[in-house]
Structure 1
Amino acid sequence: MGVLWTGLLALAIGFAAVNGRLPALTPAAFDAAKAAVTLSLGLAGVMTLWLGLMRVAEEAGLVRALARAARPVMRRLFPDVPPEHPAMAAMLMNIAANVLGLGNAATPFGVKAMQELETLNPRPGTATDAQALFCALNTASIQLVPATVLALRTAAGSRAPGEIIGPTIVASVCGAVAAVVAAKLLARLHPLPPAPSAPGEAR
């Protein structure tokens, strides 16, 4: 990242020099820094409010209630994962947290889910169909409360920051459906090779 930012800075200075606008570069940099600080301070307050509300919902059991509601669907999506396996519980909690916009809470559950799925993997180091599907589903997660975007719009002075909730739900549902269809289709078109035999196992 350091190399990337240094390259962008060098390009900005180079283009400013070529276009004869080098004297305007320093004031523009200061103005942008001031705007960034103002936006960050406004964003901190809004994010604190939203994350606090979501934390209350989590403590009230809303995340676990969503996880229980999603269990029948998850059993169909992941038939290779035993229903009572710890991986299933971690995946359910990850998806429920993502639905509520609790990205910070969802991440540990996602890591735990991948670790538990690896214990079911007959080819360690090669992702199973369940791992690939969960990764796709987690990346294109359905969101009912896009807390981060709402906070950004509020901090930027939007008059109706909540008007994106409907489009966000539609877009995230479409993304999740596309992720599931793609993962299932590719799993059928490119099945994994048989697991290697254990040493000394009869062939």
Structure 2
Amino acid sequence: MVLSRFWLVIFISSIAFVIFSLFSGSNYTIDHVLNGKKDDPILVSEKYLDEIPAFIKDSIQKAPEQTMIVNRDTLNADTTYVYKNKTVKIFSGVQKSDGLLPTCKSTLLDLILPLMAYLAFFCGLMELLIISGVSEKLAKVLSPVFVKVFPSIPKNHPSISYMTLNFAANFLGLDSAATPFGLKAMESLQEINPEKDKASDAQIMFMCLHASGLTLIATSIIGYRAAANAANPADVMLPCIITSFIGTIAAFLIVGAKQKINFKSASLLIGLMVLIAAIVGLLMYVNHLDLIGKNYFTTNLSALILIGIIAATLIFSFAKEQKFTEANTTVYEAFVAGANNGVKTGVTIFPYVLGMLVAISLFRNSGLFEIISNGLGFVFSSMGVTKEIVDALPVALLRPFSSAGSRGFLIDSMNTFGADSMTGRLSSIFQCSAESTFYVIAVYFGSVNIKNTRYALGTMLLVDVICVITAIFVASWFF
């Protein structure tokens, strides 16, 4: 219900603001809201040749075929004049994201189809894990901890192994693997959910822990920083880990208090201590490496672990081939059946993702997001917050709505202020310290047709705020 109302508010307020901007004269046209593409120049006016400045008029009249573009680099914010069909079109600024119709197209071609491919492959592997008995063994090993965190889940339930694989994939920066594992976990949790259209306690806890974004290897962030010529692309790794870890602990405490979980449980405390020890141990190892060593380690660790998971699954499936025979299938046929289920899941979540991304597109292109962002920047500046922090806030504000959008702001901030500036580093921490909340909710709850998300959205947004505040303090401490 909360998500539905929030979606309607975004949609209706954005449309109202677009119409107001058109009739108030703030916008010359609203075509870009519907048909424009990211980084396209925005048409702000159209005039007759006699109405433009004399020096531009003279240049156009002297140009071949009386056609001239002042400033051919239309990807920046400078004004561009294009003379055509007896009028001069004036462009200024660039579009921040795709319009409504291009978003519909890109959601299918650039997001859902690749996601379906990932889902097909990893759901095929998960089918092998199920039939071979690996998931059952993993669930038995982790049940003592998970039954404390998820008291409504029966002991040794298959969802435990799927959630473990999801957390591990996120931890290692394996986004392509994390989503299929997470969707399988939601599907498994839905089987024991007594109210099928309402999120269960276990599903909310899983979603909030997943969205807190605990990450050890921020591979993509390191790549962006390297491309921006950072002196040490991996220098934000430790701040990212600290920020995301605090966000995860906050999510666990907030949801745990709501669900009255026993925080004094011995198995729960042991599990937490093991996790902290693993993080500290890896950090100590990485810190003693030189720059090349860090880059080599962060580049290869995640890939090697993913390849190891795939190899171990196939080897174990081959060793337990008798179980596949007993299930009247083969290893390959089981993989194909699982892959087929992955494709079906992709088809199921497409409308949910489309609806959310179209609303976000309208929100950004209407200009409403920019006004809110500038307003918050002014408030923070008035409170004495430094300009370096204020300049990084657009990444934090957009991150819950769109990973691609916030990534664009991240790259822009590093290009504008420098990858090694406080703004560039803080933007990097913002980008890797939380998930795209609305996208995650649309995908995960949409995959199991849950309409009432209860307090999941509010909690996830609160955790986002905690991550932003933590990131500012951590970045100020380190840099």
> Could you say which TM-score interval applies, normalised by the shorter chain?
0.5 to 0.7
**CA shift in 2, pair 1:153/1:80, >3 Å:** same
Question: Which residue number corresponds to residue 13 of structure 1?
Answer: 43
User: What residue in structure 1 maps to residue 215 of structure 2?
Assistant: 143
Change in CA separation of 1:84 and 1:71 when aligned onto 2, cut-off 3 Å? closer
* 1:165 and 2:237 matched: yes
Q: CA deviation at 1:157?
A: 1.3
| Matched letter for residue 75 of structure 2 | A
- d(CA) in 2 for partners of 1:97, 1:30: 38
For 2:238 and 2:218, locate their aligned partners in 1 and report how far apart those are by CA, in whole Å: 10
Is the CA contact 2:226–2:233 (under 8 Å) kept in the aligned structure 1?
yes
Amino acid at match of 1:87: S
CA distance in 1, matches of 2:40, 2:159: 47
Instruction: Please tell me whether Structure 1 or Structure 2 has the larger radius of gyration of its CA atoms.
Output: 2
Identity %: 32
Counterpart selection for 2:195 from 111, 123, 127: 123
Q: How far off its partner does 1:184 sit?
A: 2.3
**Alignment partner for residue 154 of structure 2, among 63, 79, 82?**
82
Q: Could you tell me the TM-score, scaled by structure 2's length?
A: 0.28
Kindly provide the amino acid, as one letter, of the partner of residue 77 in structure 1.
V
Contact 2:39/2:75 (8 A) holds in 1: no
Alpha-carbon deviation of 1:138?
Answer: 0.6
| Counterpart selection for 1:23 from 64, 70, 85 | 70
Distance 1:165 1:127, change over 3 A: same
CA 1:5 to 1:92, structure 2 compared with 1: closer, same or farther past 3 Å? farther
> For residue 107 of structure 1, what is the aligned residue in structure 2?
179
- Cα distance, 1:161–1:5 mapped onto 2, change above 3 Å: farther
Describe the SS at the equivalent of 1:163.
helix
Shift of 1:4: 6.3
SS of aligned partner of 1:14: strand
Which structure carries more relative contact order (alpha carbon 8 Å, separation 6+)? 2
Residue 171 to residue 89, structure 1, CA distance change in 2 (3 Å): same
Structure 1 position 125, deviation (Å)? 1.1
SS at the partner of 1:13? strand
Cα distance per residue 1:25-81 (max 9 Å; x no partner): x414289xxxxxxxxxxxxxxxxxxxxxxxxxxxxxxxx9x9999665433211111
Aligned to 2:371: none
Query: CA, structure 1 residues 79+16, in 2 after alignment: closer, same or farther (shift >3 Å)?
Result: farther
Q: Aligned-pair distance for 1:178?
A: 1.4
- Counterpart of 1:128, as a letter, is S
Instruction: Give the Cα–Cα distance (whole angstroms) in 2 for the partners of residues 160 and 110 of structure 1.
Output: 33
- Partner of 1:29, secondary structure, is coil
* TM norm structure 1: 0.62
Is contact 2:169-2:177 (8 Å) kept?
yes
Measure the CA separation in 2 of the matches of 1:159 and 1:5: 40
Asked if structure 2 preserves the Cα contact closer than 8 Å seen for 1:67 and 1:95, the reply is no
Q: Does 1:92 align with 2:92?
A: no
8 Å CA contact 2:139, 2:157 repeated in 1: no
User: Could you say if the C-alpha distance between residues 163 and 72 of structure 1 is closer, same or farther in structure 2, counting changes exceeding 3 Å?
Assistant: farther
Aligned with 1:85: secondary structure?
coil
Shift of 1:9: 6.8
Structure 1 residues 169 and 9 mapped into 2: Cα distance closer, same or farther (>3 Å)?
Answer: closer
Change (3 A) 1:162 1:8: closer
* 1:67 and 1:96 in contact (8 A); partners too: no
Specify every segment of 5 or more residues in structure 1 that has no aligned partner in the other structure, as ranges: 32-63, 193-203
> Could you tell me how far apart the structure 2 residues matched to 1:134 and 1:158 are?
35
Q: Is the 8 A contact 2:40 2:75 kept in 1?
A: no
Shift of 1:12: 3.3
RMSD: 3.6
Question: Of the candidates 248, 259, 270, which is equivalent to residue 176 of structure 1?
Answer: 248
Which segments of 5 or more consecutive residues in structure 2 lack a partner in the other structure? 1-31, 48-52, 57-68, 78-134, 261-453, 455-479
Secondary structure of the 1:185 match is: helix
Question: Closer, same or farther in 2 for the Cα pair 1:114/1:159, shift >3 Å?
Answer: same
Q: Distance in 2 between matches of 1:72 and 1:16?
A: 69
Distance 1:29 1:102, change over 3 A: same
